[in-house]
Structure 1
Amino acid sequence: MTTVQTKRQAWRCIVSWALAAACMVMIFCFSQQSGSDSQSLSDGVLAGIFDVVGLLIPSAVLRKMAHAAEFALLAILLFHALYQTCGRGRPYLSWGMTVLYAVTDELHQILIPGRACRFFDVCVDALGALAGVLFCLLVLALWKKYRVKKTEK
């Protein structure tokens, strides 16, 4: 491996971990909102969805979908960071790290007015993380299949 490739790989690792850390900060900031601030943000998103597509989604459903989506994103970013660092995605580790962060996120919410620590939310977050990891495995499998076909030509 040349020096340029080594430097490029080092930067890929740094950027990958920085993106995962940024996602964690984003989740922390959302969790830091009071219950009323969080609800008003959800209401604003709901109004925007209704204005664009005319679809009325219950607030509780939207909030759970948002929980799952943010932890799916975190799992994808952790999978990618581990892939850049270890050469493999390590699906169990990226899922486990994401679920551990979900647990700490819920514990953090105990300290926020109008928020609570809910086991159900950890389960929703864990399912979102699972969806993110499965997405990564699918993309990786398709990418490997494409590379094999490309080298056979």
Structure 2
Amino acid sequence: MNETVISYSLYLILAVSMTVWVARTLHKNGRIFLVDCFNGNTDLADSVNHLLVVGFYLMNIGFVSLYLKSTEETTGARGVFELLSGKMGVVLLMLGGMHFFNLYVFTRMRRRATLANLPPPVPPMHRVSKAHDILDTL
């Protein structure tokens, strides 16, 4: 095998492994957050959590696949490490970006759920019927 094939193989193994690890971490820890967002509806939270993980896999593994090709000629161990580190750096930045995007979505969902559960505003203590009644109270 030449160095380019070795680089591609190591890149795919590392990138897919990192994607799976991040997705599993998001799935495990995101469930608790989603249950809170959906007011304890665990079935809905689990369903949304699963759909988010599937989307995460599709986006990231699709990116990893598209980013596989290299136009540079890889020679020697140094070339393998340089190509691999550059590609993995971009993949890790992409995974981090997707992670923060998921956190943003979760936070918005939680904020919306929290606002929906607030009690209604306090009604006024008494009702003023005419403008001159207001002036009389001053």
Report which of the two structures shows the higher radius of gyration computed on alpha carbons: 2
TM-score by length of 1: 0.34
- Determine which structure has greater relative contact order: mean sequence separation of CA pairs < 8 Å that are 6+ residues apart, divided by chain length: 2
TM-score by length of 2: 0.37
